[in-house]
């Protein structure tokens, strides 16, 4: 293992401040604290062996960001007018990955590919929330669309540390991962025709992912590092799992990635394995047993971390279920992975909510958890690590144990309950026959 599994502990820096948890009538049970960025000061406090690896990682990030900014500044130096920001939109929908193979050699597909090529950052990544079926990037245009939250207030955890430099290279919302996969399909469809420009872009993108991997095997949400919660080891939106799956396919030389050089495929294999080890090591322990995962972790300490104002450091059911599915699909899981799955599924079953539905009840009250006999099993998104009770955050950074106590905007605008873990339980029914729990 790259690092030991850490026991459950609740230091004062954790995002859940655990105020008055014993009171069933307290509407606010805590305050969500800010995540910490990766800094030279924090790295200097690490043991020498760890500090060296992290210092090199931070320097690599800083160099990459400087090159990204310098390239854009150079483009703009001769312009009398800076182009407007690119339009935002649904990136994944504009880069379909399930079409017939021949479609990826068509005019519409190649237009998407041209857009993708034009918006790749010098570091090799892509931004998020941007439709790829629009016009290519103009000289001097920003690399990413506007991803600033419209709810920003002073002290908001989502405020970019670098002003307008926001999500310039990210794996959030499957960005970078989807662009690489789309270009790989174009290459496969065009071969043996001219594919060099697409190959170069995919290889640059893969090297970007390898450069962004933490010394401990995880990935940040944004790289080059942006600061704040974006520097966290990010399991949210299945980020680490999605990158590990992609690199695993590259390592295997699947048809879409058969063109990748052997040396790079080997690097991808090592990175994917390190990611698996990182996921296993970050599984939280409850009463000494592997349980579930947090949504993100402090990259340096591997303690569960907060993210946006309303996202606490807590067990996260949906992302945990996705990790469990990923582990169950490993071709040769080791004993630790097998134990992780059995214990994780056991806790998901324990936390399941029956006879309830999460739905809109009225314009005035918005979405609420209501009685619904026979409704599909639900899980809260977050569970407090100490009490295993559902918890809910609000934009003012307050933490609650009743979803009805948070603002109407946050109740309606976030998936506080879901059925996502069903997939893990269904797969487990088959997987557990092959890998029964140790007696």
Q: Is the pLDDT of residue 94 over 50?
A: yes
Closest CA to 91 of 107, 112, 117: 112
The answer to whether residue 45 is domain-embedded is no
194 and 110 fall within a common domain: yes
409: which 2 tokens?
A: 């905007």
**pLDDT given for residue 23 in this prediction:** 35
Residue 60 lies in a domain: no
Same-domain check for residues 338 and 264: no
Q: What is the mean pLDDT of residues 85-93?
A: 88
Q: Is residue 49 part of a domain?
A: no
Count of domains forming the chain: 2
pLDDT tens, 345-404? 999 999 999 999 999 999 999 999 999 999 999 999 999 999 999 999 999 999 999 999
Same domain flag for 270 and 384: no
**pLDDT tier at 161, thresholds 50, 70, 90:** confident
Length of the chain: 439
Q: Are residues 13 and 87 in the same domain?
A: no
- Determine, yes or no, domain membership for 71: no
Q: Report the percent of the chain where pLDDT is more than 70.
A: 94
Q: Are residues 272 and 352 in the same domain?
A: no
Q: Tell me whether residue 166 is one of the annotated catalytic residues.
A: no
Q: For residues 248 and 296, state if they share a domain.
A: no
pTM: 0.92
Query: Using a CB cutoff of 8 Å and minimum separation of 24, what contacts does 369-377 make?
Result: 369/403, 369/404, 369/417, 376/419, 376/422, 377/352, 377/353, 377/419, 377/422
pLDDT of residue 438: 82
Q: Which of 147, 173, 216, 343 is catalytic?
A: 173
Residue 398 is assigned to a structural domain of this protein: yes
Asked if residue 10 has pLDDT above 60, the reply is no
Domain match, 253 and 326 both: no
Please name every residue paired with 222 in a beta bridge, in sequence order, or none if there are none.
170
Residue 13 has pLDDT above 80, yes or no: no
Which of 132, 308, 381, 395 is an active site residue? 308
Pick from 222, 246, 281: which residue ends a domain? Answer: 281
| Catalytic status, residue 173 | yes
Q: Do 178 and 245 belong together in one domain?
A: yes
| Residues 35-62, mean pLDDT to the nearest whole number | 96
Assigned domain for 254 exists: yes
Residue 356: give the domain boundaries.
1-35+292-439
Domain match, 30 and 104 both: no
99 shares its domain with 172: yes
CATH number at residue 274: 1.50.10.20
Instruction: Kindly state whether residues 143 and 257 are assigned to the same domain.
Output: yes
In this structure, is residue 270 part of a structural domain?
Answer: yes
400 DSSP β-pair partners: 392
Distance CA 54, CA 242 (A): 23
- Could you tell me which residue, 61 or 160, shows the higher pLDDT? 61
Alpha-carbon span 376 to 222, nearest angstrom: 35
């Amino acid at each position: 293992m790259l690092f030991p599994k850490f026991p459950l502990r609740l230091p004062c820096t954790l995002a859940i401040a655990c105020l008055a948890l014993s009171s069933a009538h307290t509407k606010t049970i805590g305050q969500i604290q800010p995540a910490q960025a990766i800094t030279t000061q924090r790295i200097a406090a690490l043991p020498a062996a760890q500090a060296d690896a992290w210092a090199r990682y931070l320097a690599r990030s800083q160099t990459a960001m400087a090159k990204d900014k310098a390239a854009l500044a150079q483009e703009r130096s001769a312009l009398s007018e800076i182009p407007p920001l690119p339009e935002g939109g649904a990136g994944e929908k504009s880069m379909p990955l399930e079409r017939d193979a021949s479609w990826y050699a068509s005019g519409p597909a190649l237009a998407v590919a041209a857009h993708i090529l034009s918006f790749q950052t010098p570091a090799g990544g892509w931004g998020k929330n941007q439709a790829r079926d629009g016009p290519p990037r103009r000289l001097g245009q920003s690399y990413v669309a506007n991803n600033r939250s419209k709810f920003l207030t002073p002290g908001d955890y989502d405020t970019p540390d670098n002003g307008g430099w926001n999500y310039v290279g990210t794996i959030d919302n499957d960005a970078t991962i989807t662009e690489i996969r789309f270009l790989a399909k174009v290459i496969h469809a065009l071969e043996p025709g001219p594919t060099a420009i697409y190959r170069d872009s995919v290889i640059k993108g893969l090297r970007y992912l390898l450069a962004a991997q933490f010394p401990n095997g995880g990935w940040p949400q944004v790289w080059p590092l942006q600061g704040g919660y974006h520097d966290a080891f990010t399991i949210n939106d299945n980020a680490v799992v999605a990158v590990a799956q992609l690199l695993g396919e590259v390592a295997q030389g699947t048809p879409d990635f058969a063109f990748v050089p052997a040396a790079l495929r080997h690097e991808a294999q090592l990175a994917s394995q390190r990611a698996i080890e990182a996921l296993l090591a970050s599984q939280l322990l409850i009463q000494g047993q592997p349980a579930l995962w947090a949504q993100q972790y402090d990259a340096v300490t591997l303690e569960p971390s907060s993210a946006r104002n309303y996202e606490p450091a807590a067990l996260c059911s949906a992302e945990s279920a996705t990790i469990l599915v990923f582990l169950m699909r490993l071709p040769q899981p080791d004993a630790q992975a097998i134990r992780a799955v059995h214990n994780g599924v056991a806790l998901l079953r324990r936390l399941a909510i029956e006879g309830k539905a999460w739905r809109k009840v009225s314009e005035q009250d918005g979405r609420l958890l209501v009685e619904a006999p026979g409704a599909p099993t639900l899980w809260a998104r977050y569970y407090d690590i100490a009490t295993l009770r559902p918890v809910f955050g609000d934009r003012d950074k307050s933490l609650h144990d009743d979803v009805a106590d948070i603002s109407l905007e946050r109740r309606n605008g976030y998936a506080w309950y879901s059925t996502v873990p069903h997939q893990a339980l269904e797969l487990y029914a088959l997987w557990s026959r092959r890998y029964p729990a140790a007696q």
